[in-house]
Amino acid sequence: MFKTNNVASRIFERQIRTPAPGTSVHCARRFYENLVPSFTIYDVECPDHSFRKFTDDEDCDNTHELPPMAKRFESFFTQLYVRSLASCNELICKDFFLYVERNQFGLFATSTAQIQDAPAVGGAIPGVPSIEKITFHLLRLEDGVILDEKVFQNDYVNLAHNMGVFLYDDLLAVVSLRYQTIHILQIRDSGNLVDVRAIGAYCREDDELFINSSSQFSGNRGDLVDNGIHYEQPNSNNSFLSGIKQRLLSFIFREIWSEETDQTPRVQCLKKKFYFHFQDYVDLMIWKVQFLDRHHLLIKFGSVDGGISRNTDQHPAFFAVYNMETTEIVAFYQNAADELYLLFEQFCDHFHEASINSLYMNFISSHSNNVHALEQLRCMKNKATIFSQFVKKMLSPLPFNCQSLSPSPYFDQSLFRFDEKLISATDRHRQVTDHPIRFISRRQPNNLKFKIKPGPEFGSADGRSKKISYFLFHPFLPLALSIQQTLFLPPSVVNIHFRR
């Protein structure tokens, strides 16, 4: 739309020209080429805080002038309130936070220390650690009022980078790795956390009642009562597999059954593909979950070792699509399945949109909506020597961590080029580079728009220590924080990047 880079000319041009239908927001976002965080204040004096996320509910006072030698955190931010969440021996989980945009609520978590060698009692999975108490706190961000809390006792939920919790609109999915249960909660407008269903040992609300009544009829009711019912899946004293595992096995069986029409080849196929791998399927455990919509979950299954590891790339894995209303598995894929990869390549935005829940997130660049990202993907595919390994690598982030992508326009690949090995929209720590990270105009390849450098302005005197950095970009303002840490050696070096 714009024929010039001059911001005044662009404003005038916007007044006299009408963009093509459906492109007005994209055209307006091109103004970010002129509005960049081009100024940095290094090593800002900060309180001893962990910075997790910018929310989009701030009432920013843009008329406030910075002091000439602004070096303090308070020069940029005003503390609204302080709330104590952790009690007794609990600690705040620094890597966990979810923003409920529709109500401007914040979901925080606290937990006690992790017990690695906890005994597998009460239906727990052997080899999975235990945490005595995990508490989710729902706060109203406007004034910090604690609206509700949800407690999990002697359980294990992977809270790092929101891995074990997924928010979709007003629905919350919490994955209990220890008891292999997906807890679905609803966040009411009143601020209450309400249990909706638990998927694991049972799939329908009356499954437990039916099994208990059947056991009572057969004279075995006492055995089930001794096992307890708190988040438990049937254990070795019970002949039943969990409800979700029953659904999975029956789907796999029916899929293999339908591959052949003649009886003899069908039996051979079942022996080879189902019965030979039966125990492997039985031993699968739920790793991660994300909503695809209000009725469907994408569930990742794998081994126990992979479920508690931060890097699951080396472990075999499977994906299942589960319909919560019908309690049926409707699709099942290996983690190297071409069919799932093609869906991911063509409809990547659908996976992302379910994980982000924000107006600004509609513009996150992916290979499904951005020609430059698609070109990068094709380049990676062409370089791959073993296609199945490439597919595994591309599908390994699924299910996506909730709210793990920054909606900042400075990560829009239609506007800027940058080295994705050093910085990207994905929320994760990265190894520090000695050189500034350059953001270059996409339309003018030789035009450097701005640079961001984490750490001290003139570099660190200690070049031997391993340093990591992470970045927090505001969703729409030209404002970012870069935080550099030396492993096991606090404090952090915080820089503020903004437009002056």
Tens digits of residue pLDDT in 133-189: 999 999 999 999 999 999 999 999 999 999 999 999 999 999 999 999 999 999 999
Please count the CA atoms within 13 angstroms of the CA of 483 that sit on its side-chain side: 22
Asked whether the predicted pLDDT for residue 126 surpasses 70, the reply is: yes
Cβ neighbours around 360 below 10 Å, total = 15
Q: What whole-number distance in Å separates Cα of residue 162 and Cα of residue 355?
A: 11
Q: How many helices (H) and strands (E) does the chain have?
A: 12, 22
Asked whether the predicted pLDDT for residue 234 surpasses 60, the reply is: no
Residue 65, pLDDT score: 67
Confidence grade of residue 222 (pLDDT, cut at 50, 70, 90): very low
Report pLDDT digits (tens) over 97-117.
Answer: 999 988 899 999 999 999 998
Token pair listed for 475: 């969703």
Instruction: Please state the separation of Cα 307 from the chain's center in Å.
Output: 15
Pick the range with the lowest mean pLDDT from 21-30, 84-93, 475-484.
21-30
The mean pLDDT value for 202-226 works out to 66
Residue in this structure with the two tokens 């597919």, named with its chain if needed? 391
Helices 387-395, 371-383: crossing angle, 10 deg rounding: 140
Q: What whole-number distance in Å separates Cα of residue 362 and Cα of residue 368?
A: 12
The mean pLDDT value for 271-292 works out to 95
The percent of residues in the chain predicted with pLDDT above 70, rounded, is 86
Residue 66, pLDDT score: 66
Domain boundaries, the chain: 28-56+66-82+406-499, 83-199, 203-209+240-335, 337-397
Token pair listed for 110: 């606290």
